[in-house]
Amino acid sequence: MSSRVRVRFAPSPTGPLHIGGVRTALYNYLFAKQQGGDFVLRIEDTDQTRYVANAEQYIIDSLNWCGIPFDEGPGKKGNYGPYRQSERKHLYREYTYWLVDNNKAYYAFDTSEELDVHRKDHEAKGKTFIYNWHNREKGRLVNSLVLSKEEVQHRISSGEKYVIRFKNPEGQTVVLNDIVRGRIEVDSNVLDDKILFKSDGMPTYHLANVVDDHLMEISHVIRGEEWLPSLALHNLLYEAFGWKKPEFAHLPLLLKPIGKGKLSKRDGDKLGFPVFPLAYKNEKDGEISRGYREDGYFPDAFINMLALLGWNPGTEKEIYSLDELTKDFDLARVNKSGAKFNPDKTKWFQQQYMQHTPNENVANKFNAILLEKGIEKPIDFIETIVGLVKERAVFVDDLWNLSSYFFVAPESYDPKASKKQWKEGTSELMNELIQKIEQIENFSSENVESEIKAWITSKEIGFGKVMQPLRLSLVGALQGPHLFDIIHFIGKEETISRLHSAIEKLG
């Protein structure tokens, strides 16, 4: 086996990818890139009952959107394919039979009804039924360890259903090493003889996963904590095959915002945040789940947030580009305890990225929204507007609410402000202002400001009397950046037209 670092992300295509899964993919990606290794995507689709057709594409799209594409996997060239387990069935069969032939696994013919009887029997005595060394050869269980060779052959050839179980060693201390959790010892006597091959001719996760990790020369298995209980079996399988084990790192769970229990879609629905990277339509019931992409998050903000959910860089630094993450990420600094998901902090990351993304890039995104609304403006104009209002924006969508008046006349006027600012005499004053504006030739922000201010002074009235109704006419509310910047950007004709509309509607 080569010493090259090769890691894999091995999701089962059972639905949309949870953000916990995205984090697993991210840590794999970061580690691979840091070590100059390969990041493999393997689709673990051996459980036909849970298979969802659009899930694989969803997973691929999610990784691409996050900016963490795989090097090898379905649809990409690689020397270790195929990368879908359903296309590797023949291999699993071959390796399972090798285990049987070498007395490391055995046929078991017990029906599920029979196993139920054993389970209930044990429960009645306050015990738990485990299929293993303790009872597998006592005669009550029906398997190839107690039946004669002929009997086993006869049962198989007459079409009787069977499974193949792993023959766990008796009385052995299994020593596990995990990069995150350190050394763990497990007594092999408490393990059950897990099924490796099912009666439907498909391997179970355990067998397929270990065979593939070996054949694909995976050097490091980085996966969720929920697989830690399987680690002893996986280690024993490597030993049974006589294969070199990869290194393992089990990542902490993503917890609910309150800190207890695994983060679920229900938490997101209840508290108003997505738990999936992309929106997802469930083909069965048509239900649409929200996604970070559609909610307006930038992928690099999303990735930055996820990277810090479980990894502690050991400094105060929080904003990391993907390159910086690749450089600084350290598997040994991944926390053992679960990481509490914090929706407010997630938004904070997006806000930081919005503020630090160059106006030019934000303008390109904003332009797409404007074009959808049928508004076509030069990109440098949009960029300037972005610069004026971005400070208060978290998402690109916010920019429209903050700056729509630069592009279109207000459709309505804030009623409270209208009542307060549009008084007796305001319409007349605004008509006079229109005449004044008509005479202004140089429409730079500074010149309009000085001319209008001089005009107000000459009339000996308070500034507010003019400025507030003027702002209301142009913006529809008493908000927005410097008023004379707005006037400059929308131009003379539009300023006058909006004043006329306001006089008509509010006067």
Which CB, 96 or 495, lies closer to ligand GLU?
96
Q: What are phi and psi of 408, to 5 degrees?
A: -135, 155
Nearest approach in angstroms of CB 177 to ligand GLU is 16
In this structure, are residues 145 and 136 in contact, taking their beta carbons and an 8 Å threshold?
A: yes
Min dist CB 20 to ligand GLU, Å, is 10
**Among 38, 44, 56, 225, which residue sits at the site for ligand GLU (rule: CB under 6 A)?**
44
Cβ pair 354, 300 in contact under 8 A: no
Q: Which of 223, 250, 256, 290 is in the footprint of ligand GLU by CB under 6 A?
A: 223
209 in contact with ligand GLU (CB under 6 A):
yes
Rg (CA), the chain: 33
Cα separation, 248 vs 46, in Å, equals: 23
Question: Are 286 and 257 within 8 A, CB to CB?
Answer: no
Q: Is the dihedral of CA 356, 357, 358, 359 positive or negative?
A: negative
Q: Does 238 bind ligand GLU (CB under 6 A)?
A: no
- The correct pick among 6, 11, 278, 422 for binding ligand GLU (CB under 6 A) is 11
CA torsion sign for 377, 378, 381, 387 is positive
In the complex with ligand GLU, the residue whose CB is nearer, 28 or 473, is 28
Q: How far is the CB of 405 from ligand GLU (least distance, A)?
A: 50
233 and 174 in contact (C-beta within 8 Å)?
Answer: no
* Burial of 27 (C-beta count, 10 Å sphere; 0-12/13-18/19+): buried
Of 99-118, binders to ligand GLU (CB under 6 A) are none
Residues 6+ positions from 98 with CB-CB distance below 8 Å? 241
Q: Is residue 290 within the footprint of ligand GLU (CB under 6 A)? A: no
Residue 45 makes contact with ligand GLU by CB under 6 A: no
* Binding window for ligand GLU (CB under 6 A); candidates: 8-16, 174-182, 239-247, 452-460: 8-16
Complete DSSP assignment for 329-343? --GGGB-SS-EE--H
Q: State yes or no: residue 23 binds ligand GLU (CB under 6 A).
A: no
The nearer residue to ligand GLU, 263 or 486, going by C-beta atoms, is 263
Q: What angle do CA 439, 444, 447 make, to 5 degrees?
A: 65
Task: Write down the least CB distance from residue 11 to ligand GLU, Å.
Answer: 5
Tell which one of 82, 91, 184, 227 touches ligand GLU (CB under 6 A).
227
Q: Considering only residues 5, 6, 7, 12, which one is a binding residue for ligand GLU as defined by CB under 6 A?
A: 12
The reply on whether position 28 binds ligand GLU by CB under 6 A is: no
Q: Which stretch binds ligand GLU (CB under 6 A): 9-17, 257-265, 351-359, 408-416?
A: 9-17
Instruction: Please list the active-site residues.
Output: 265
Amino acid 255 reads: L
Q: Tell me: does residue 38 bind ligand GLU (CB under 6 A).
A: no
Does 10 interact with ligand GLU (rule: CB under 6 A)? yes
CA-to-CA separations, 352 to 1, 22, 257, 465, in angstroms, rounded: 44, 21, 21, 38
> Smaller CB distance to ligand GLU: residue 263 or 396?
263
**Neighbour order of strands in the sheet with 173-178:** 38-41, 6-9, 220-224, 247-251, 173-178, 182-187
Is 87 or 123 the residue whose CB approaches ligand GLU more closely?
87
Nearest approach in angstroms of CB 312 to ligand GLU is 22
Q: Which positions touch ligand GLU (CB under 6 A)?
A: 10-12, 44, 205, 209, 223, 227
